[in-house]
Amino acid sequence: MIKAGILGGGQLGRMLLQQAANYPVETYVLEADAKCPAAHLCHHFVLGDIRNYDAVLDFGRRVDVLTIEIENVNLEALEQLETEGVQVIPKPAVLRTIKSKILQKEFYQQQQIPSPGFVTTQSQAQLQQWVDFLPAVHKLAEGGYDGRGVQLLHSPADFKSGFDAPAVLEKMVDIDKEIAVIMAVAQDGTMAMYPPVEMRVDPYLNLLDYQLAPAALSQKNVWRLEAIAYKLAKAFGSPGLFAIEMMLDRQGELWVNETAPRVHNSGHHTIEAHTTSQYDMLWRILLNYPLGSPQASSPSVLINLVGAPGHEGPAHYPGLPQVLNMQGAYAHIYGKTHTKPGRKMGHVTVLGTDVVDLVRKAKQVKELLTVVTHPSP
């Protein structure tokens, strides 16, 4: 049996492992938290820091193929493992490009991938040079995650919230829609594209509010998006899954925002609404099986369950039975024992017929189901 390792034990690892049990594979997880969502679903759980060189190196030497569920891992160890013959998917070179927002932006520029204009800054003080560049988005080069590490700068008065560390200052796009698309690249280079989805973001938490699949796009933009996604996936030159976030501006132009070279929040709905889930797809890539079909079997809406404001402690899910009573609703609770405001605690996918139906169901789920620290009222 092939031995496969995952760096990181969060919900993405958890869902990967649920799917792994369909295949002849022995699974390993490295994570510093023994109670993480993926800890109990693998053959071998290894307690350790995915950012630590020795921990990643020791872990990687036990497996045949290695993947990630988060970018914030020790790259030097992955590069060493690659030279030792361990298959790392995605390739460490891709991770190096993507992990730094600066290198990622430069890569798009070199590859002629449409992405908003940018400059790099090394300190907060340097922002003063770029008054004419406003309005802009300031993005920390490394370590940003789930809305942290991003600041909107409308006027010089906002410079004080900018980062005093290497960062990208990017032209603000007048966004009409946020779009995401997942590309699958097999070991032999075969590619498949999931239908694009449309995200609607909560302006406060900057976490996904709900996501519609498929995205409502003009035929012209579907073609344009497809061309960009295939070009970008090919440019990375690595097998793996690539979740590409794009922005459609009010002039109808598409811009690449960023790419995650792994299973992604924007692909949770593929578990129930697509022929092949993103998790199944990644195992097919890791185990060198043919890609599955990315096609949708139903339109769907995805609602993230995040910890309610003001609640920090043991998690309860009032309204879960009511949501499970909805036709076509599927709940995924990530098994985190403690909730805190804005923490991703689970998600719900609902199958439906059209946008009106899906948005209605999304609102219903959000009204019914909360993550709080006391049992049902």
Shortest distance (Å) from residue 315 CB to a second copy? 7
Judged by CB under 8 A, does residue 47 bind a second copy?
no
CA dist 219 and 222 (Å) reads: 5
Shortest distance (Å) from residue 175 CB to a second copy? 33
Judged by CB under 8 A, does residue 377 bind a second copy?
no
Judged by CB under 8 A, does residue 190 bind a second copy?
no
Q: Which CB, 27 or 259, lies closer to a second copy?
A: 27
**Residues 294-353 within binding reach of a second copy (CB under 8 A):** 297, 315, 317, 320-321, 324-325, 327-328, 330-333, 335, 337
- Neighbour tally for 30: CB within 10 Å: 28
Helix, strand, or coil (residue 303):
strand
Shortest distance (Å) from residue 1 CB to a second copy? 7
Query: Residue 240 has which token pair?
Result: 């793996």
Alpha helices, DSSP H only, in 260-375?
A: 270-273, 278-286, 320-324, 355-368
Shortest distance (Å) from residue 32 CB to a second copy? 19
Pairing verdict, β 87-88 and 65-68: parallel
**Residues 13-42 within binding reach of a second copy (CB under 8 A):** 14-15, 17-19, 21-24, 27, 40-42
Shortest distance (Å) from residue 225 CB to a second copy? 25
**Residues 240-259 within binding reach of a second copy (CB under 8 A):** none
Judged by CB under 8 A, does residue 275 bind a second copy?
yes
Scanning 68-76, 196-204, 289-297, 359-367 for contacts with a second copy by CB under 8 A, the matching segment is: 289-297
Query: Residue 234 has which token pair?
Result: 């090919």
CA dist 11 and 334 (Å) reads: 6
CA dist 253 and 112 (Å) reads: 15
For the chain, how many helices (H) and strands (E)?
A: 10, 20
Shortest distance (Å) from residue 134 CB to a second copy? 45
The residues, ordered by sequence, that sit 6+ positions from 110 with a Cβ below 8 Å of its Cβ are: none
Cis peptide before 135 (omega within 30 of 0): yes
Judged by CB under 8 A, does residue 292 bind a second copy?
yes
Q: Which CB, 101 or 269, lies closer to a second copy?
A: 269
Q: Over 185-210, what HEC string results? A: ECCCCCEEECCCEEEEECCCCCCEEE
Give, as one character, the DSSP assignment of residue 139: E
Residues that bind a second copy (CB under 8 A): 1, 14-15, 17-19, 21-24, 27, 40-43, 275, 284, 288-290, 292-293, 297, 315, 317, 320-321, 324-325, 327-328, 330-333, 335, 337
